[in-house]
Amino acid sequence: MVGPAGILDSSLKKHTNLLNKLKTNLFASPPDALLKDIDGLTLTKYLEEIVAAVVEGSGKGKGDIDSAVEVSWVSPTPL
């Protein structure tokens, strides 16, 4: 969630939670839930880890491929 004055969260705990969701629930979670998590975080700091988690999650996937593609195509926050 975007904090005061539109500042994005960069905490390690919230990013780790997102990484775990991408690794295990990329296909299972509704895309809206993942997109809401992504929308409030500063992704550029952990971009390599996020890409690796999406690749790992997509390799395990059984489910809605459209949801996974939608989450994968979210553009990162500007630098």
- What tens digit of pLDDT does each residue of 23-39 get? 887 777 677 888 888 88
With a threshold of 0.75, does the pTM exceed it?
no
- What tens digit of pLDDT does each residue of 3-23 get? 444 577 778 888 898 889 888
**Which one-letter amino acid corresponds to residue 44?**
T
Enumerate residues 6+ apart whose C-beta is below 8 A from 38. Answer: 18, 71, 74
What pLDDT, on a 0 to 100 scale, did the predictor assign at position 58?
77
